[in-house]
Amino acid sequence: MTRVIEHAQEHAIAQLTPLIGRRRACEAAGVPQANWYRKNRISPQPERPSTPRKPHPRALSDQECERVRATLNSERFWDSSPTSVYYTLLDEGIYLASESTMYRILRRHSEAGGDRRRQATHPPRAVPEACADAPNIVWAWDITRLKGPTKGRYFYLYTIIDLYSRYVVGWMIAARESAELARTLISATVAKQAVQADQLTIHSDRGSPMISKTVAQLLVELGVVKSHSRPRVSNDNPHIEASFKTLKYCPAFPERFGSIEDARLFCRSFYRWYNDEHYHSGINFQHPADVHHGRAATVRDRRAQVLAAAHAANPDRFVRGIPTPPSLPGPAWINKPLQEKADADKTTQN
């Protein structure tokens, strides 16, 4: 309501001013003339003379500030913090300025940002890349914990998986993590799969057994190339992690294992199912054992025959023609290069 009245008063003043003058227009509208001028100022504000700021009587002089700055940026102290410089000089019987003043002088010249100390610089970790277009070209391995009978007690599942076929080529359950046990499992699995020298790459994360000298020496002796995930990168070893998720989300997976023998009995049954009966989406719903042992093409042909027979019996039910089964599994990657990925996506779209 007040704004409506003010607007009406301003309109009345604007209309009456050309006729009777601003003073009488303000009187007629009931608005003090001073208020109108204050609200509708016409003349500019008078310029106030600028008064230079007086330095504080206790402030350092320009010469003293330059001396402090020169000392902080000298060859002796250029990589030291002002706090270190302050106490170093204090122990030598020299006082130039307080710590806060030293920081203030550096900030004034934009020299306080970042860390003045020398720090080790590490080159960026190379992204691990591995491609498997056949079985026993790239393996991935890791260790996961299984809950034991009591809180705080665990059993350790060592697993090695073939990247191309997703076939679990070796596994072991032990009471502890150990580089020696890992060496035993890898050595036995390489012998079982008849892997030749310079044929295989083994990928793992950076757990202590994985980067141990014991395992590294074994891989050199076997002619196996080692590959490691980058530090603090969770998706550099996805295939083995996916197999662990399938294990632990299995409906029969218990909350705890009563003994190490129970854990071994369960995993023996699980990995038999995983290799021989599990339809793995990563290999186009084939069994890992069929892909690993070269039976995938036969399985696909048999599926194609069944679909063709179904189409021949009821062609009207298949509006898009004869259905085809999924293609054979292609190369499997750890961190496919961007160009390779773009080309693969373009091929898929075409």
Q: Is the dihedral of CA 164, 226, 271, 207 positive or negative?
A: negative
pLDDT digits (tens, 9 = 90+) for 142-151: 999 999 999 9
CA-CA-CA-CA torsion sign (278, 279, 282, 283): positive
Are residues 282 and 184 both part of a single domain?
yes
231 and 207, same domain (yes or no): yes
Residues 280 and 162 in one domain: yes
Residues 96 and 139 in one domain: no
Residue range(s) defining the domain that contains residue 177: 130-290
Asked if residue 202 and residue 104 are part of one domain, the reply reads: no
80 found inside a domain: yes
Do residue 236 and residue 103 come from a single domain? no
Query: Is 0.85 surpassed by the pTM of this model?
Result: no
pLDDT of 347 over the 90 cut: no
Query: Using 50, 70 and 90 to split pLDDT, how confident is the model at 44?
Result: low
Residues 21 and 167 in one domain: no
pLDDT number for residue 183: 96
Question: Across-strand partners of 204?
Answer: 228
CA distance 241 to 135: 19
Q: Is there a single domain that holds both residue 186 and residue 213?
A: yes
pLDDT in tens, 163-194: 999 999 999 999 999 999 999 999 999 999 99
Q: Please check whether residue 335 lies inside any domain of the structure.
A: no
Instruction: Flag whether pLDDT at 238 surpasses 80.
Output: yes
Res 346 pLDDT > 80:
no
Assess whether 134 and 242 both reside in one domain.
Answer: yes
Who wins on pLDDT, 305 or 27?
Answer: 305
Which region among 37-41, 142-146, 181-185, 321-325 has the lowest average model confidence (pLDDT)? 37-41
Residue 205 and residue 82 share a domain: no
What percentage of the chain has pLDDT greater than the value 90? 54
* Dihedral angle over CA of 96, 102, 106, 108, nearest 10: -100
Q: Lowest mean pLDDT of 18-27, 64-73, 260-269, name the range.
A: 18-27
On whether residue 208 sits in a domain, the answer given is yes
The stretches of 159-210 forming alpha helices (DSSP H) are 179-192
Q: In this structure, is residue 140 part of a structural domain? A: yes
Give the per-residue pLDDT at 178: 94
For β-strands 201-204 and 225-228, DSSP reports them as parallel
Mean pLDDT of all residues in 237-245:
94
The answer as to whether 54 is a domain residue is no
- 97 and 137 part of one domain: no
142 shares a domain with 195: yes
Q: How many domains does the chain have?
A: 3
Residue 332 located in a structural domain: no
The answer on pLDDT for 85 being more than 70 is yes
